[in-house]
Amino acid sequence: MAKLDKQVWPALGAALLSAIAFLWASPFLWTLVASFRPDGAGSADMASLLPDLHPTLENFRTALESGSFGIYYINTLIVVAGVLAVQCVTVSLAGYAFARLRFPGRDLLFYAFLLQLMLVPPALIVPNLRTVVDLGLYDTLPGVMAPYFASAFGTFLMRQTFLALPRDFEEAAAIDGAPWWAIIWYVLLPMARPGLIAFAIVSVTTHWNEFLWPLMVITSPANQTLTIGLAAFTMGAESGKEWGVLAAGTLLVMAPLAVAFIAFQRRFVDSFVFSGVKG
Amino acid sequence: MDLPMSVASTSSVDLALGHRAAHKPRRLRLFAYGLLAPSILFLALFTYLPVVRVAIESLYDTPHGTGAAPSFVGLGNYAKVLADPAFRQAAFNNLVYAVGVLVPTLVLALAFALAVQRSTRFATVLRTVFFFPSLVPLVAAASLFFFIFLPGVGLLDYYLGKIGIHGPNWLGDSDIALWSVIGLTVWKNAGYYMLFYIAGLQNVPRDAVEAAMIDGANAWQRLRFVLLPALAPTTAFVTVIALIQLLTSVDHVIVLTRGGPSNATNLLLYYIFQSAHENFDYGKAAAATLISVAILLAISFGSLRVMERGARGDG
């Protein structure tokens, strides 16, 4: 009986888990299957999760032709890279100041930074849009990026990373007469790479996926990002009943991050845990 | 959010600059502020000033497109917003949505974490499967669920039909639509919060669990009396970030339902978006923004206490 217990319960548990995992993965399984399904399969069985015997790339071609995905990819890349590049500078400098320097008002300023974790940019789309218009950045990619140039989360993460580093190296460099920027660039940042990479992964994921703010800022088709293109595309699919094309379009938007995730799984998971636990 | 502010820091640069500028502490101070300046500039532009700006502008009526000067209306916009049935509906929906997502998400996140915490190959695959939805854009998830919820031929109805169940109109029925949106959000978020529980479980002292086992506590008792109390700080933390998230992301509502049918899936941020972006009622959007800012701050400041207590272990 005890032996039976030891074998039966884990097996039942594993079966239940597998069933739940299958349920969880089914939207993605459907996307994969439907995007390669030929148009002639008929819409009655469109929802079937069984792969079609004659896969086709037709849906991807239609998707790529009906939306300007090339432009969307480029715009999204520009936004993601631009935000990250500026953030790396701002969060490294601020993280360093909070970790290593003593100055009046430091604690107060630190709490002021953390306020951004609560007043997240989406909550302030209405006044921020006015500010972007005032700055002449309406309908431009810099307008999409600007609210994210400062990052409380990144500052906090870099501060924690710097605090965990030994001071010996910077002290040696300082005694050798290295200027402050050389100490940060050549001594601290190479050691802080795990922190920076974790931050980069979270930042890239966030801005690759972002929708509401670019939707507010961008009006001309030439400046649209992937998520906006996909949303327009989804509304279009509604009338055309082109579910295979919709699946293909969705896959095109998700693919880059999904591939990166599968390639660097551990890193992704660690970064997101790091981001939550520390920030 | 642990905030260890007591870390002493006499730094290398303090020392280095100290040699050169021992008599110039002012220079050191300016140096620190200089490093913070770029961040503070952007925080001021897009986090601090917007709150002030929206507070002031919520007191004015700004006619759209006529070029007329804004006129001072005092609390008129607030009165208008609070009297608007759509706003009340959105606030109530957001409450249902927040609780309706939060509870199952927390339960599933913990259950998933318990199931996949060991580092077997099977557990690693499961972890990937559960986490993956939180990596895709909410818009993409909405696009997928658009088809999943499709009446008759959609994924859900297709397979429910196979077992003889005739599903409701998932997004078209005003009694069901909000729960469909909740289902999507639970699916999307549970795997993300699972990660925090996995991390939290690693910090639960082994001794406590083993002692409970020796005392003959069964699995449920170990969960109830050992794991849950030990995980309280994780739960508090996840609750707060989840609540902030549930108040500030409506991408799926924009794509799937546009707040409908008849405001059944209207949420606070969608109401704000709609007032500003579609109805061009700026004063109303400003007033609603300030109300939502107040809610966010209340959650955050209320929770700082909760989490400090949780961290000390007496709460």
Mean pLDDT by 10 residues, chain A (279 residues): 68 88 92 80 67 76 80 94 96 93 90 87 92 94 95 91 88 86 88 89 92 93 91 73 81 89 82 60
> Under DSSP, is residue B231 helix (H, G, I), strand (E, B) or coil?
coil
Q: How confident is the model over B214-239, as a mean pLDDT?
A: 86
Nearest to A128 by CA among B67, B289, B74, B250: B289
Mutation for B interface: A49, A118, A210, most B CBs within 10 A: A118
What is the separation, in whole angstroms, between the first and last Cα of chain A? 49
Backbone conformation region of residue B63, classed left if phi is above 0, alpha if psi is from -120 to 50, else beta: beta
Kindly list the distances between the CA atom of residue B49 and the CA atoms of A130, B56, B140, B176, in Å, as whole numbers in the listed order.
11, 11, 33, 40
Across the interface, whether the CB atoms of B13 and A247 are under 8 A apart is answered: no
Q: Rounded distance, CA A189 to CA A270, Å?
A: 19
- What are the backbone dihedrals phi and psi of residue A45, each rounded to the nearest 5 degrees, phi first? -105, 20
Across the interface, whether the CB atoms of B153 and A46 are under 8 A apart is answered: yes
B156 Cβ contact partners less than 8 Å away, ≥ 6 residues apart: B148, B149, B167, B170
Give A199 to chain B, closest Cα distance, Å: 15
Of A46, A103, A268, the CB nearest to B29: A103
Q: Rounded distance, CA B125 to CA A249, Å?
A: 26
Report residue B196 as tokens: 């925090």
What is the separation, in whole angstroms, between the first and last Cα of chain B? 16
Nearest to B131 by CA among B113, B155, B107: B113
Across the interface, whether the CB atoms of A103 and B32 are under 8 A apart is answered: yes
Digit-coded pLDDT (tens) for B97-132: 999 999 999 999 999 999 988 878 888 889 889 999
Q: What is the DSSP letter of B68?
A: P
Give A165 to chain B, closest Cα distance, Å: 12
Q: What is the ipTM of this complex?
A: 0.87
Q: Rounded distance, CA B20 to CA B163, Å?
A: 80
Digit-coded pLDDT (tens) for A73-94: 999 999 999 999 999 999 999 9
According to the model, what pLDDT value does residue B208 have? 83
Digit-coded pLDDT (tens) for B131-177: 999 999 999 999 889 888 988 778 888 888 888 888 888 888 888 89
B44 Cβ contact partners less than 8 Å away, ≥ 6 residues apart: none
According to the model, what pLDDT value does residue A136 have? 94
According to the model, what pLDDT value does residue A276 have? 56
Chain centre to alpha carbon of residue A208 = 5
Of A90, A110, A237, the CB nearest to B5: A110
Across the interface, whether the CB atoms of B154 and A47 are under 8 A apart is answered: yes
Give A65 to chain B, closest Cα distance, Å: 19
According to the model, what pLDDT value does residue B3 have? 37
According to the model, what pLDDT value does residue B86 have? 92
Residue B313: count of CB within 10 angstroms of its CB: 10
User: How many alpha carbons fall within 13 Å on the CB side of residue B280?
Assistant: 5
| Residue that is written with structure tokens 């040696």 in the block | A172
Closest chain A residue to B112 measured between Cα atoms? A17
Q: Is the pLDDT of residue B10 over 50?
A: no
According to the model, what pLDDT value does residue A234 have? 79
Q: Rounded distance, CA B79 to CA B295, Å?
A: 18
Using CB atoms within 10 Å of the CB of residue B167, give its burial: 0 to 12 exposed, 13 to 18 middle, 19+ buried: middle
**pTM as predicted:** 0.87
Kindly list the distances between the CA atom of residue A55 and the CA atoms of A48, B69, B230, in Å, as whole numbers in the listed order.
14, 61, 51
Mean pLDDT of chain A: 86
Q: Is the pLDDT of residue B52 over 60?
A: yes
User: How many alpha carbons fall within 13 Å on the CB side of residue A114?
Assistant: 21
Report DSSP letters for chain A, one per residue.
-HHHHHHHHHHHHHHHHHHHHHHHHHHHHHHHHHHTS-GGG-GGGTT--SPPSS--SHHHHHHHHHS-HHHHHHHHHHHHHHHHHHHHHHHHHHHHHHHH---TTHHHHHHHHHHHHHS-GGGGHHHHHHHHHHTT-TTSHHHHHGGGSS-HHHHHHHHHHHHTS-SHHHHHHHHTT--HHHIIIIIIHHHTHHHHHHHHHHHHHHHHH--HHHHHH--SGGG--HHHHHHHHHHHHHHHT-HHHHHHHHHHHHHHHHHHHHHTHHHHHHHHHHHHHH-
Residue B144 with chain A: CB contacts under 8 Å: 27-28, 30-31, 247, 250
Task: Provide Rg for chain B, Cα atoms.
Answer: 25
Q: Rounded distance, CA A62 to CA A69, Å?
A: 11
Task: Provide Rg for chain A, Cα atoms.
Answer: 24
According to the model, what pLDDT value does residue B314 have? 36
Q: Is the pLDDT of residue B205 over 50?
A: yes
Nearest to B101 by CA among B269, B239, B259: B239
Residue A238 with chain B: CB contacts under 8 Å: 146
Digit-coded pLDDT (tens) for B61-76: 877 766 677 888 888 8
Q: How confident is the model over B210-214, as a mean pLDDT?
A: 84
Mutation for B interface: A87, A119, A184, most B CBs within 10 A: A119
pLDDT range class, residue B225, cuts 50, 70, 90? confident
Across the interface, whether the CB atoms of A101 and B157 are under 8 A apart is answered: no
- Most confidently modeled of A47-51, B4-8, B21-25? A47-51
